[in-house]
A and B are shown apart, each in its own frame.
Chain A
Amino acid sequence: MKRPDELRKELEDLSPRLLKLKEQGEGFNIPANYFQRLQKEVLEKVQATENVPTSTPVPPGPSWLDQLKEQMQFLLQPRWALSLASVALLITLGITWLYQQNQVTTGRVGTELAKLDQQTLDAYIQDNLHEFDTETLMEFASNQDHPLQLNFDELQPEEIDQYFDELIQDLDDETIKEFL
């Protein structure tokens, strides 16, 4: 309920300036027919928002653990489990067979090499000397009852120099001093 007289009296006591300003008007205006338009616009806004399909909240996805469990349950169904077991068995058999084949081949090679006599082996090494590094040759020579005999007659001078260079590089200082 408005009681302007009561307010006027109160303002006279409190602030004559504010009473004077109030009588002048507050200075706020509104566009013509504003309230008719406001009603229309508010109703349009209500209808517009009602027609907009409300987005249904997306439920949070399952955690990685749930997903893993789900996948495991799927894979452990009898038909899938049987298929997986068959594949695993085939892979195991395949690996085992390949390993055995490799062993057989290695064994066969060893047996065949054992049949070769020392001369044949020496001749092979002489013919393929460039395929071996010096360290292997030295090791081979030290293990032989008959040290490797290099046939220098069949080598070119450059090859002989190269052989000695490699040999010298492999010797330590003390050993070289012993030779000197």
Chain B
Amino acid sequence: MSLANLEVRRISGHAATVPGAGLKRDLEVAKLVDTTTCIGCKACEVACMEWNGLTYSDTTFQNSYQTMPETTFNFWNLIKFNEYEPEDGGNLMLLMRKDQCMHCEEPGCLIACPSDGAIVQYANGIVDFQQDECIGCGYCITGCPFNIPKLSPQSQKVFKCTLCVDRVSEGLEPACIKACPTGCLHFGTKDEMKELGETRAKQLREQSGFAHAGVYDPSGVGGTHVLYVLHDATNPEAYGGLPRNPHVPWTVWLWKKPLKWIGNLALAGGLIGMFVHYLRFGPKTVEEDHEEPKEGKQP
């Protein structure tokens, strides 16, 4: 979205330094999603489509309240429903989790992206796609541990939740937060949201009997800028497949870090080696020979 209003921390596929890095003071922002007070009204889904001007598309019946199986290129905010029967024989729970881009501190999409400037991470923690620079390769789809970036079949560009960067850069809260009727969605600095989440989790543990209640802020991706309060933080998978320990895929890491350096050194070494070989040994020639079977031909 707008590069003008926010300080950039990191740029995908970028060989040089990041312009203006460290120039301004920016607070890190975060969304807090309290799954324990979500009523599944989907107002956030509607607000997201409204604010971002997303086109409508057919929904598919999921045998549940869920709008569609997963987020799409034009549906960035999806409430995931799961009818969950606790293994210890407790009451059936209808788990509802607002699924969207997690805005990782260590974004697998940005690390995998080869295109200069197609993905930026702002100093406030928002990870944003710049479709102008996107080449449609889909590496971000492979780099993401949360199954979030989606390719548009029309434009062959990748889209996802922007954390309403255009609103946030103007001092507004994201559209989904604005629309939430129960107050289960909060927006503020990462520190504030973390504190608020921990307070709520403590309340759930001490007053509501959810012994394993906690805040989801996975360290494998350096923490995220979307936090969840879960009734049972030891079982995030129950919340529509929230990964227990998300991290940048190790093959992506292997490819972008050691392999790239080994490969580049090998390429440069090969070129230098050939040049030195030519200086030292030169070409093979057949002019001055070396006996050759005579075919009776004389010059």
User: Are A and B bound to each other?
Assistant: no
Q: Which residues of A contact B (CB under 8 A)?
A: none
